[in-house]
Amino acid sequence: MILEAFFKALAQLRDRRFRRVLWLGLTLTLVLLFAVYAVFAWAIYWLIPDSATLPIIGEITWVNDFLSLASIFLMFLLSTVLMVPVASAFTSLFLDDVAQAVEDVHYPHLPSIGRVAFTEGMIDSLNFLGVIIATNLLALVIYAFVPPAAPFIFYSLNGYLLGREYFQLAAMRRIGRKAAKQAFKRNAARVWLAGTLMAIPLSFPLINLLIPILGAATFTHLFHRLERA
């Protein structure tokens, strides 16, 4: 069931609505990452002196330059870890478009429904963004203490978060928020497994940028299969 849902989503990747959501999500993500870096760089420029005087060593004039260079590597590390989760959160703003494209092609018999209010979608996306950033930053600390367990933690953590988010968002469109949470609880193990399988390609550059779209489409299929079952 899970693989069938994924391959159906993959086959629809050329849909122009899929591509539109992909570019919107990536654009917003890049804007956010550059904005965060700009604020960080500004803080270094204004708060850190150009030089410092240390006992015995004397004056050091490269403090600001060193921190500026370090900030670039820090931003690269954070973007590597958070790029896809943040893109996923932004993509959830436009999930209606992906889900509707899936339903138009594969479930044309379903009655039409209204779009989720933008403010409601924004709140859900911000909540998801906060949770996924906080948990992944915490996971970075854990990775340092238990390196061998890092892949397992990364895949299971992001698999759970992605699976829960996309399944509930797909379900909410049809059965409402409360019923969607209940549906997730009934199918938590299967949704977690599907989310973990979706999280595995996060390790592959470029391919990982497609995961938000494929995830939204896959869990739309999965929701309808589980409801029908």
Can you give the pLDDT at residue 147? Answer: 87
CA–CA separation, 178 vs 40, rounded Å? 40
Give me the residue spans of the domains in the chain: 2-33+83-228
Can you give the pLDDT at residue 28? Answer: 75
Other beta carbons within 10 angstroms of residue 152's beta carbon come to 11
Task: Give the chain's residues under pLDDT 70.
Answer: 37, 40-92, 114-118, 120-122, 125, 203, 205-206, 229
pLDDT one-digit tens code per residue, 156-170: 888 898 888 889 888
Helix (H, G, I), strand (E, B) or coil at 88: helix
Contact, 183 vs 171, CB < 8 A? yes
Give the residues across from 59 on adjacent strands.
Answer: 53
Can you give the pLDDT at residue 192? Answer: 92
Q: Which helix (H) or strand (E) holds 209?
A: none
Nearest 10 degrees: Cα torsion 164, 166, 172, 178: 10
Give the DSSP letter of residue 49. Answer: -
Q: What percent of the chain has pLDDT over 70?
A: 69
On whether the pTM is more than 0.85, the answer is no
